[in-house]
Structure 1
């Protein structure tokens, strides 16, 4: 191979990852030298003003998304560098794209499948180079940082889109609509012999024929082929207790993560997680093989996968699930190879510490909690009505290809109105927001007034699952949970206690229902303060109720 076609990894000591500048320059050189096979272009800028790029390899030089989709071509997508301290995928993708360009046999194998890639997603983090932030990781010599320039973990940002990177990615993904995705990572956690572990889209959450195809055909084949090629692999090691011998559970990848976001578009996603304690060279080699094996499935079954995706986009189940939990009562059995998990006194304090004894290897079947059960479902509305003032929500729907009608005139609609009864947030900020872990709500049907300029979002369109899981408050990563509607949780008017004290007595005399609720509340709160007492009456009396308070602004139109 010519020296100028070697990647920085290949020219080094197999413990070196490319810099951002080297990576982009390499692809620009390839695109200039092989213009009929490779297109490489800028898709936006990061929050720090750095250019973000994407590339496409096409054996016949078709580089237009709409043309590829109209022709029924399979689109395979490889995302890299979302966590630039886990960089082996960056280097693997460079070599693979180079091989497509220089090896006619490999290009012929690609055939009608288009290979779409983002070389480095978190360009801010990749430019922030260091050799210490991955404290438990074996190599490379230096690497990028996990957070972007806003100190956000971009693999928590795909739904809320606080970063420019996520906004660009949403538009990019909706435009290209890939059929399969591999997003490369390195894992922290327990010690075990495997170099490669894998987080797929959770099959039950992916649902339907796609979920069954993934569980019954794709995953067994991937694990079988990885072992045959010398890289035994297993599901992501997510122990249910201290160590893997006590069982592992599927990682429930909600839409904040890349694979969970891909599932909203009915795309099968894989997140390979190589093991941090293995050498960078081993992690590189295992990532290359995993990428090739998933690509082989795309080449052989692309038409079938595209048909299942079309079926899923055409009709969601009704009622439709929006929240799942891993089923911890019905595990499967998984052959697993591990090291003995042991305890010994810590040299740092008065406690027992965990360690793994690599001289005590073991092999056994362990519990694998690989099923997800539905917790919340909703009846499918005919449409959602979104008031025009909620611009951040509307633009994210547009980024994801949702078609909405802007109402030309005011009208009255019969709709389901959701009211937030209670929320429970984390004790501190999570990725820049106060995330609502728990949400309780009530539903009533009533006539509501829509104004000219409000948005009508019908659900008879391919992006319906994205709309449902972003707009339904109970969904895992809904806009509500991420704080997009926090202003509705605050009353805007208040009272002066010395005036309202007398008025509160009048309200109780006039409203028997309020009086009964107050007496029941008072019995449960015998030591309530004046503020608590007056607050209860003020918040529950009709004359001062503030209809907008705790009323979720997005309406469900059912009929």
Structure 2
């Protein structure tokens, strides 16, 4: 129980009331807040005007979007978005609203296709609200769709189609509160980051636990877009940049080079030029090393397929992460997103054949290794000479009891180091992976990803690389799973794979994705995510008097086991002092051993 120990003088009473007002949530405020919670807690916004303000519809426009009508202080609900889009669908032959799945709570997931028709046209896929408190993409996309359908911007569809998912995480979107995402300046109320099961959908592209993720991967496979854009809002430090974006590994550490080179060489310059002309200040997303010390640098690092950008890289699909700056006003962020999306459609149309060639080149490549671990490089890999930062000082916070930052809305520039990564572990890919038929959950995920595999019709005897876990540990629950970390020991064994076993060849367009899911060392492997809890169950045991008799017999009749056993007694005092461990070890030597404990069920075909 919290107790006030100081006498309540009139001054202290006023201070206490003011403090409680900042942490309490009045019932009326929870229903319809009249102002942003961030109005009282975030630093002052820097002034901004830009040419993109001309994109806003006039107040009397019958096709004004809900966000424009609310002067960007509010964002529309799922029902309001559906109603507005259905009206646009009815008004324009260019617009079609379709469903492509259901959320965890059963809501219909929708996308909008903007198209002039024509078979085989390449698709630009854009999504908003995977983190539904970061909802800029939704309102920018509605404005852009309106202008394409009704405001003479239909030429954007001459060579490409636009497929727009306004709200990916609908269940999280509808859990709206003024206290969600308090670091983001508007809208007044926002949704949550995770879905109804508290799974972050931008951590679920590889493991596919959520129905929303499975629906999105199915949509991606059906469209095979030439460009995939995922709209977010950043966290971090204050800076002058408002619209930032990046790619897997910030381009430097991409797993597939051809699509990464297109993003760096063509997409980035095109959208940066358009944003600058519209009055915005773009940059490749500066992921901070230390938000308290911006001068320590920004991080460039490889990514795994749990993320949208990492997944796109692993499958050879150009993917862009938009990370608008959290402290810029919602109006400014939405307008910048509109400009970026329009520019993206233009460069995708211009470069459609070039992108298709890059995708084909990446998918024809056959990497022989998978990078699985890395660490920060000892020295910067580059510098931004005039990084556009914002000055801050510090103050002693009564709440935290330490020095906290106070941003001053004063522009500064400084030399920003870029901190890269040094590889510390790679694994050489096998010829194939063998998955037992009973691992139905894994096989289901492979099928959903479109990874090629064959199901054997007869048993096969093979020499396979078997993996055993050493010192496994369960980590804190994360994204609906209990992740596992361990060291691994590999060894060749003769093994009979029965009929119905699944063989996954590495020689396929999605071979690198298969490796990231099936190689035990991978940070996004099924093993790392905890798909095989049976590995951690102890082997069944029996009565001590039976085990002792069996162990005595083994030691008397098997010189090899006796030699190894005596060595363990000599070298491992803890083992020597544990009667149950001694008997369990001898029991494990007596026969083929129990097939599950600490044995990774997926084998690797080397030869």
Regarding TM over 0.5, the answer is yes
1:493 maps to 2:493: no
Superposed displacement of residue 250, structure 1: 2.4
**1:119-130 to 2 correspondences below 5 Å:** 119-130=166-177
1:239 maps to 2:288: yes
Measure, in 2, the Cα distance between the counterparts of 1:200 and 1:457.
Answer: 28
1:10 match: 68
Superposed displacement of residue 503, structure 1: 4.5
Superposed displacement of residue 439, structure 1: 3.4
1:266 maps to 2:323: no
Contact kept, 8 Å, 2:551 with 2:587, in 1: the verdict is no
Contact kept, 8 Å, 2:129 with 2:168, in 1: the verdict is yes
Measure, in 1, the Cα distance between the counterparts of 2:184 and 2:501.
Answer: 51
Which of residues 98, 118, 126 is equivalent to 1:41? 98
Alpha-carbon displacement from aligned partner over 1:306-329 (angstroms, at most 9, x marks no partner): 101111111222234455555453
2:391 match: 340
SS of equivalent to 2:351: helix
Superposed displacement of residue 372, structure 1: 4.4
Superposed displacement of residue 165, structure 1: 0.6
Contact kept, 8 Å, 2:382 with 2:418, in 1: the verdict is yes
1:255 match: 305
Measure, in 1, the Cα distance between the counterparts of 2:531 and 2:571.
Answer: 36
Which of residues 291, 308, 314 is equivalent to 2:364? 314
Which of residues 147, 151, 154 is equivalent to 2:201? 154
Superposed displacement of residue 526, structure 1: 5.3
Q: Which sits farther off after the overlay, 411-420 or 298-307?
A: 411-420
Superposed displacement of residue 41, structure 1: 0.9
Measure, in 2, the Cα distance between the counterparts of 1:366 and 1:478.
Answer: 34
Gap regions ≥5 residues in structure 2? 1-56
**1:14-93 to 2 correspondences below 5 Å:** 14-35=72-93, 37-59=94-116, 61-62=117-118, 67-68=119-120, 73-93=121-141
1:171 match: 218
Q: Which entry has the higher C-alpha Rg, 1 or 2?
A: 2
Residues 406 and 121 of structure 1: CA distance in aligned 2, closer, same or farther (over 3 Å) = same
Which of residues 318, 337, 346 is equivalent to 1:287? 337
1:476 match: 523
Residues 505 and 148 of structure 1: CA distance in aligned 2, closer, same or farther (over 3 Å) = same
2:259 match: 210
Superposed displacement of residue 421, structure 1: 2.6
Contact kept, 8 Å, 2:430 with 2:604, in 1: the verdict is yes
Superposed displacement of residue 330, structure 1: 3.8
Which of residues 441, 445, 450 is equivalent to 1:401? 450
Residues 282 and 494 of structure 1: CA distance in aligned 2, closer, same or farther (over 3 Å) = same
Measure, in 2, the Cα distance between the counterparts of 1:191 and 1:114.
Answer: 36
SS of equivalent to 2:444: helix
1:415 maps to 2:473: no
Which of residues 415, 422, 437 is equivalent to 1:365? 415
**1:290-301 to 2 correspondences below 5 Å:** 290-301=340-351
Contact kept, 8 Å, 2:453 with 2:505, in 1: the verdict is yes
Measure, in 2, the Cα distance between the counterparts of 1:520 and 1:343.
Answer: 58
Which of residues 376, 390, 411 is equivalent to 2:439? 390
Measure, in 1, the Cα distance between the counterparts of 2:428 and 2:322.
Answer: 35
Provide the aligned length of Structure 1 versus Structure 2.
Answer: 544
1:433 maps to 2:484: no
Which of residues 182, 204, 215 is equivalent to 1:135? 182
RMSD: 2.7
Residues 523 and 20 of structure 1: CA distance in aligned 2, closer, same or farther (over 3 Å) = same
Alpha-carbon displacement from aligned partner over 1:344-370 (angstroms, at most 9, x marks no partner): 3222354322333334x320221012x
Superposed displacement of residue 521, structure 1: 6.8
Measure, in 2, the Cα distance between the counterparts of 1:540 and 1:520.
Answer: 14
Superposed displacement of residue 447, structure 1: 2.7
Measure, in 1, the Cα distance between the counterparts of 2:382 and 2:531.
Answer: 39
Measure, in 1, the Cα distance between the counterparts of 2:559 and 2:86.
Answer: 74
Measure, in 2, the Cα distance between the counterparts of 1:11 and 1:538.
Answer: 76
Superposed displacement of residue 19, structure 1: 0.9
Measure, in 1, the Cα distance between the counterparts of 2:404 and 2:368.
Answer: 49
1:446 match: 493
SS of equivalent to 2:344: helix
